[in-house]
Every structure is written in C-alpha cells, then in structure tokens.
Amino acid sequence: MNPWHDLSPGKKAPEVVTALIEIPAGSKTKFELDKVSGLLKVDRVLYSSVHYPANYGFIPRTYCGDHDPLDILVLGQAQVYPLSIMRARPVGCMRMLDQGEMDDKVIAVHEDDPEMAHIHSIKDLAPHQLKEIRNFFEIYKGLENKKVEVEGFHDLPETLKIINEAFDLYKQERTNLLKQSESHHD
C-alpha cells in the first residue's frame, strides 16, 4: 500500500481532506514519503535551530508542479505520530517558492479537535501563529544555502482552487506516477 496513491483524499474533499502526516509538530527531523515504497524515510535533520510549527504532511491523490503531493500543515492541540491519518479542514494557504519552484502549503485545522471548531478562515488564526509559520519556512533551509521565498497567505477560496487543481493534475498524471513507482520496484 502506498498512502499517496491508495488513501482516499476524503469524502468531503476539498472542504475536509485526509492528511497523511509525515512530520509531527515540534520535530527537527524531516521525514518524507518514499514515493516508491510508500514508507517514511528520514530526509535530514534540520540544519537550523527551528522545529516544525504544526503537524506536516500531504493530501493523498494530489500532484503539484514540484513533482510532489500537495503539502498540508494541520494545526491542533496535539502532536501526532508520523504516518497518522487526520481529517483536516483547510482554512487558507501559504504561497511559497522553494529554489524557484512553486511549493504551496495548505494551512488546515484538525477537524476532530474541539479547540479548532471555531476556525473557518485563515483570518481566524492568531496573527502571531501565521508569523511563526512564515518565519519557519523562510529560515529553515537557510543554513543549507537554499533559497525559500514566502509570497504570502491566501484565504479559503484560493486554497480550494489550489487543492482542486492538485486533484486534477494527479488524475492526469496518475498512470505515469504509478508506472514510475512500479519501474523502481524492479
């Protein structure tokens, strides 16, 4: 089973999506899905003295211009284990360029966390929380001499459009992605 291809993105997607968590909130270790095996691999320990500001992962059956599934940060009270499946309610997104490539980050809240029930828009989040998220992504690759540029935050309508585009691109590319995965197994 490969969570990228085999997990449902959620019955209510894009309003409520499945998030497969790769990295728990507070981690300095960057895990990422091995696209061939479907297992998690340790990509690296962050070079900077920062940690992930939220549970971080991806939305299954999405594909983006950076050749990865669509990234998602899931805010909530609890840190969860890698490979946890969460129901997440998108509230906005952060547009970002990573080494010159578009690398959008969906910002969502844990749908099953009562403390998050009142948050329906990125405007409902504390301004400082958004500053922390932005700051993390602006500096977390700095000591690796990699350039990341945050363009800004967008509210829900733009976010839903980005999610739907990632679903559509995945549907277009699914056959090729599965072939690539199978050819690497041999």
Mind listing the pLDDT tens digit for each residue in 50-92? 999 999 999 999 999 889 999 999 999 999 999 999 999 999 9
Annotated binding site: 30, 44, 56, 66, 71, 103, 140
Residues contacting residue 32 through CB under 8 Å, at least 6 positions apart: 22, 40, 41, 43
Domains of the chain plus CATH, in order, are: 3-174 (3.90.80.10)
pTM score, whole prediction: 0.94
pLDDT in tens, 95-142: 999 888 889 999 999 999 999 999 999 999 999 999 999 999 998 888
Peptide bond into 157 cis (omega under 30): no
Annotated binding site for substrate: 30, 44, 56, 140
Which residue from 42, 38, 59 is spatially nearest to 178, judged by alpha carbons? 38
Annotated binding site for Mg(2+): 66, 71, 103
- Alpha carbon separation from 59 to 91, 100, 110, 184 (Å, rounded): 14, 22, 13, 23
Cα(59)–Cα(14) distance, integer angstroms: 10
Which residue from 125, 148, 39, 139 is spatially nearest to 74, judged by alpha carbons? 125
